[in-house]
Amino acid sequence: MRETTISTRDLTKIFGNFAAVDGVNLDIPEGELFGLLGPNGAGKTTLVRMLCTLLEPTRGTATIAGYDLRKEAAEVRRQIGVVSDGVSLYRDLTVEENLRLLGTLYDLPKNRMEQRIDELLGMFNFRDKAKRLVSTLSTGWAKRMMIVAALIHDPKILFLDEVTSGLDPQSAVALRRFTRDLCDSGVTVIWTTHYMQEPEMICDRVGIIFEGRLIQIGAPSELRQSVSEQTALEIETPNLPAEVVRKISSLEDVCKVTYDPPILRVTCTSEGAGKIEENVTRILIGSGARLRAINTKRPTLEEAFIFLTGGEEEIERFIEKGRGKG
């Protein structure tokens, strides 16, 4: 069984009379790629900032790699790497100079530091850019540089806060792949994002945070299962008689049927998802309907997110409240 690297109990951050993070309980094992998913202002960044000692929790406790967040902040800092928009590098220093500065601050012995810099520059194809000022790097390379900098001291835990925003698709893919490899080598990664598809692609587990509360934690597939209504089928079938549509509607576990010629959409509960395709196609074939195409649609994490956060109306309300950044 893997050891728990991050553990929080009732972790809360209150600004004035506004709870940016409200009573978060979380256990993340070593080597897990944990996605923290939520809209802007939901509390993701505040939670990460507390975990990386930038913000003092108002209430609650947390241990990071076995160290108490409040009492052993300096030790916590030695165990973590942080990549976040609010945590930058010195733009007027070169890539190498930035890495040396950080290596020194993390007390790396000179030989080890040079070796590590060389290793990271090679790993991230930075060798030809080592002497360049950070300010001259493109957005993609600058992001990559932030990750290199966060890894200089070989941290046990890496916080990647909205790390793919502003990246081109190739860099984003490369970054996701690298992060996955990093976790496989035992590093725990907390990946915060508001891009719903990202955690689905790479995360072992996802926590959905909304209005400061961690409302659900689970593997992406488990979260999708929590959606009680899902669009299971989209069938292209012209000239479908109304009684066939009614017959499909009366099937067990079917929630909703719409026919917008030539597309028939059948939505069913998660329990009925397994047998719906078979039942619907049997009715259609039995009625002599011509089937041009059948698509089985599984619910996405985005749909799960919308469902879990109380639907689109709730999200609209949240956006209108104009809460600050989270």
Partner 1 sequence: MNMPRLKVLRDVLAVITNESRLLRRSRSAILISLVVIPLFFTSSLGAGRGRAGEDYSTTAKLPIAFIDQDMTAASGNLYEVLAMSKDFNMLIQGYTEEEVIATLGKGGIFAAIIVPKGFQKNLLAGNTAYITVYYDDGSLGMLDVVTSNIQKNIVNFNPTSKVIQTFQPSGFARIQILQKGTKFSGFSVGLTVTMVMVIVFATFYEIAGSISRERESGTYARLLVTPISLGAVMVGKTLYDTGLNIIRSFIVLGLAIYVYGARLNTDLATVLISTLLIAILTMGFGFLVASLGVGVRAVVIIEFFLVLFLFAFSGFIIDKELMRGITQAISTILPWAYGIEVFKRTILIGQPLTSLTYQLQIIGLSITAFYAIAYLMLRSSRERLIR
DSSP H/E element including 266: strand 263-269
Q: Which of 10, 68, 105, 181 binds partner 1 (CB under 8 A)?
A: 105
Cβ at position 211, least distance to partner 1 in Å: 21
78 interacts with partner 1 by CB under 8 A: yes
87 interacts with partner 1 by CB under 8 A: yes
85 interacts with partner 1 by CB under 8 A: yes
71 interacts with partner 1 by CB under 8 A: no
Binding-site size, partner 1 (CB under 8 A): 25
167 or 227, CB closer to partner 1?
Answer: 167
Q: Which of 26, 31, 34, 53 binds partner 1 (CB under 8 A)?
A: 53
Cβ at position 66, least distance to partner 1 in Å: 16
80 interacts with partner 1 by CB under 8 A: yes
147 or 280, CB closer to partner 1?
Answer: 147
Cβ at position 39, least distance to partner 1 in Å: 20
Q: Which of 18, 71, 88, 131 binds partner 1 (CB under 8 A)?
A: 88
Say if residue 293 is exposed, middle or buried (CB neighbours under 10 Å; 0-12, 13-18, 19+): exposed
Instruction: Tell me the two tokens of residue 81.
Output: 């790497």
**E strand residue ranges, 174-261:** 188-193, 205-210, 213-218, 229-236, 254-260
Q: Which of 11, 19, 69, 102 binds partner 1 (CB under 8 A)?
A: 102
63 or 79, CB closer to partner 1?
Answer: 79
Q: Which of 8, 21, 65, 77 binds partner 1 (CB under 8 A)?
A: 77
From the list 244, 243, 223, the residue with the least C-alpha distance to 235 is 244
As a whole number of angstroms, the distance between CA 281 and CA 260 comes to: 17
Cβ at position 294, least distance to partner 1 in Å: 51
178 interacts with partner 1 by CB under 8 A: no
As a whole number of angstroms, the distance between CA 101 and CA 107 comes to: 10
Residue 324: how many CB atoms within 10 A of its CB? 10
**Beta-carbon contacts of residue 37 (< 8 Å; ≥ 6 apart):** 44, 192, 193, 194, 196, 199, 206, 207, 208, 209, 301, 305
52 interacts with partner 1 by CB under 8 A: yes
What is the signed CA dihedral for 143, 149, 152, 158, rounded to 10 degrees?
-60
Q: Which stretch binds partner 1 (CB under 8 A): 16-24, 63-71, 88-96, 188-196?
A: 88-96
Cβ at position 49, least distance to partner 1 in Å: 7
49 interacts with partner 1 by CB under 8 A: yes
DSSP state of 256: E
Cβ at position 102, least distance to partner 1 in Å: 7
55 interacts with partner 1 by CB under 8 A: yes
Q: Do residues 183 and 152 make contact, with C-beta atoms less than 8 angstroms apart?
A: no
User: What does the chain come to in residues?
Assistant: 326
82 interacts with partner 1 by CB under 8 A: yes
DSSP H/E element including 105: helix 95-105
Q: Which stretch binds partner 1 (CB under 8 A): 36-44, 73-81, 214-222, 265-273?
A: 73-81
As a whole number of angstroms, the distance between CA 126 and CA 137 comes to: 11
Cα separations (Å) of 203 from 32, 68, 179?
8, 26, 10
For partner 1, the binding residues (CB under 8 A) are 49, 52-56, 74-75, 77-78, 80, 82, 84-91, 102, 105-107, 149
